[in-house]
Structure 1
Amino acid sequence: MANTAKHAPGDDSIDEVTPKRQADGVWMIRWMWWPYDGGPPRKQRHQGNTAGEARAKARAKLAELKAGTTGGRWTKASKLSDYIEQVVRPAVAGSSKLSDSSKALYGRSLNQLDAELGKLAIAKAIEFRVAEGALLAIAERSGSSSAKTARNVLNRWVFGQMKRDRLIVQSPLADMDIDLGTNKTTTKTANDVALAEADYDRLLDHLLAFDADAVELPPRSRAAAREKIRGAVDITLLLMTTGMRLGSARQIEPHEVIDNASGGVNVVVPAAKLKGERKRPITFTVLDDRVAERVKALRKDTPAGSYILGAPADKAKLWDRRNCTREIERLYVSLADELGIKELRSDIRSHGWRTTLNTLYYHLPAHVRAEWFGHTEAVNAAHYVAAEVDLSPMVAAAKERRLRVVGE
Structure 2
Amino acid sequence: MTSILPGIYPVVKSTKPSAVPCDLHRHQHSLKNHTIASGARFHALENLLTEVANLHGRETARQTRTVLTKYLLTKLTRDELIQGNPIAGVSLDELTGTKKTARSRGGKALSASEYEALVDHLLRLDPAEGIMRRQGRWTLDHLIAKRRNAIDQALLQAATGLRSTEANLITWEHLADDGTTMSVRVTENIAKGGVPRTALVLDDRVAEHLRTRKKSAGSPSEFVIGAPSDPSIAWDRRNRNKAAQTLYLELAQALKIEALENERSHVWRTTLHTLYGDGVSTAVLDSQFGNSEQIRTKHYTDPSDLSTLKKAAEKMRSE
Partners of 1:331 and 1:147 in 2: how far apart?
34
- Return the match for 1:273 from 190, 202, 210: 190
C-alpha distance after superposition, 1:214-271 (max 9, x if no partner) = 22424543321111110100000000110001101101112111114x7121110101
**AA partner of residue 150 (structure 2):** A
Partners of 2:149 and 2:258 in 1: how far apart?
22
- Return the match for 2:285 from 353, 369, 375: 369
* Counterpart position of 1:310: 226
| TM-score normalised by length of structure 2 | 0.57
Partners of 1:263 and 1:340 in 2: how far apart?
33
Partners of 2:60 and 2:147 in 1: how far apart?
30
Within 5 Å, which residues of 2 pair with 1:2-21? none
How has the CA–CA distance of structure 1 residues 361 and 378 changed in structure 2, closer, same or farther, with 3 Å as cutoff?
closer
Partners of 1:147 and 1:240 in 2: how far apart?
38
Partners of 2:242 and 2:149 in 1: how far apart?
12
* Counterpart position of 1:264: 181
CA contact (8 A) 1:257 1:299 kept: no
> How many residues end up aligned between the 2 structures?
205
Residue 287 of structure 1 and its aligned partner are, at CA, apart by 1.0
Residue 181 of structure 1 and its aligned partner are, at CA, apart by 4.5
Residue 340 of structure 1 and its aligned partner are, at CA, apart by 0.9
Residue 197 of structure 1 and its aligned partner are, at CA, apart by 1.5
How has the CA–CA distance of structure 1 residues 198 and 145 changed in structure 2, closer, same or farther, with 3 Å as cutoff?
farther
CA contact (8 A) 2:248 2:260 kept: yes
**AA partner of residue 364 (structure 1):** G
Residue 192 of structure 1 and its aligned partner are, at CA, apart by 1.1
Within 5 Å, which residues of 2 pair with 1:9-408? 179=96, 181=98, 183=100, 188-220=103-135, 221-260=139-178, 263-278=180-195, 281-302=196-217, 303-347=219-263, 349-365=264-280, 367=282, 368-376=284-292
Identity %: 33
RMSD between superposed Cα atoms in Å:
3.1
* Counterpart position of 2:25: none
C-alpha distance after superposition, 1:126-176 (max 9, x if no partner) = xxxxxx9xx99xx9xxxx65998xxxxxxxxxxxxxxxxxxxxxxxxxxxx
C-alpha distance after superposition, 1:78-137 (max 9, x if no partner) = xxxxxxxxxxxxxxxxxxxxxxxxxxxxxxxxxxxxxxxxxxxxxxxxxxxxxx9xx99x
Uncovered stretches (5+) of structure 2, i.e. residues with no partner: 1-49, 63-94, 296-319
Partners of 2:155 and 2:243 in 1: how far apart?
14
How has the CA–CA distance of structure 1 residues 254 and 216 changed in structure 2, closer, same or farther, with 3 Å as cutoff?
closer
Moved more, 322-331 or 291-300: 291-300
* Counterpart position of 2:32: none
| TM-score normalised by length of structure 1 | 0.46
